[in-house]
Structure 1
Amino acid sequence: MAFIQIIEGRTSHYDEMKALTEEFEAQDLGGHTLRRSIRTRDRDDPSRFMVIVFFDSYESAMANSNLPETNEFSQKMMSLVDGPPTFHNLDVVEDKTF
């Protein structure tokens, strides 16, 4: 079953966070199980962001979370957020395209 995680938070360091993400994505991600990522920024509150990440399954998401590169990236990212982010862990029960 496909799995999506939404990371929701606030940052007063948006440009630094964007640069860090782009640097991470430029690396060889051969061991990663991430299939897709969408970064968003709230139009009405630019300090608020959400990152939506897609995986083949919950298990592949957990394998990805346990990679040393992911842990390093996560620690750096946490230093740029204003307060702890909220994680929404979602099993995909239906996926339709119209």
Structure 2
Amino acid sequence: MAGFVQIIEYRTSKPDEVAALMEEFRAKREADADGPAPVRGLTCADRDDQGRYFAIIEFNSYEEAMANSQRPDTTEMSQRMMELCDGPGTFYNLDLLDRMDYS
């Protein structure tokens, strides 16, 4: 199984605004339907550390993820997201080795 996952760890006191921004980005990207895009995305809140969040974004490949990162709309969304965060985010770049789907 090939694939690539990027995890963005961030803190925010404005989670609803971040969620709205991510939904706006997803809807626009889906409507445009051009260029590389994520396969799926998850947003998670840390139950043990209020205000700490993770965006987990899956791509078909590292190359598609890097091409996505170079897009102007991705850069703009990332900048807007960081403005809503309480400090800089931490990025983790992971090769996807296996995925198990449970029914």
Normalising by structure 1, report the TM-score.
Answer: 0.90
Please provide the CA RMSD for this pair. Answer: 1.4
| C-alpha displacement of 1:64 | 0.5
Residue 82 in 1 paired to residue 86 in 2? yes
C-alpha distance in 1 between matches for 2:7 and 2:32 = 20
CA distance 1:85–1:60, shift in 2 (3 Å): same
Selected match of 2:61 from 54, 57, 62: 57
C-alpha distance in 1 between matches for 2:101 and 2:75 = 33
The residue matched to 2:84 in structure 1 has which SS? Answer: coil
Residue 33 in 1 paired to residue 33 in 2? no
Runs of 5+ consecutive residues of structure 1 not aligned to the other structure: none
Q: Give the share of equivalent positions with the same residue, in percent.
A: 50
Greater helix share, 1 or 2? 2
1:43-72 CA distance string (max 9 Å, x none):
233310001000111000000001111111
Q: Please give the residue correspondences for 1:3-22 in structure 2 after superposition, counting only pairs within 5 Å.
A: 3-22=4-23
| C-alpha displacement of 1:33 | 2.2
| C-alpha displacement of 1:84 | 1.0
CA distance 1:15–1:97, shift in 2 (3 Å): closer
| C-alpha displacement of 1:95 | 2.6
| Matched length | 98
Runs of 5+ consecutive residues of structure 2 not aligned to the other structure: none
1:12-59 CA distance string (max 9 Å, x none):
111111111111112124123210000111123331000100011100
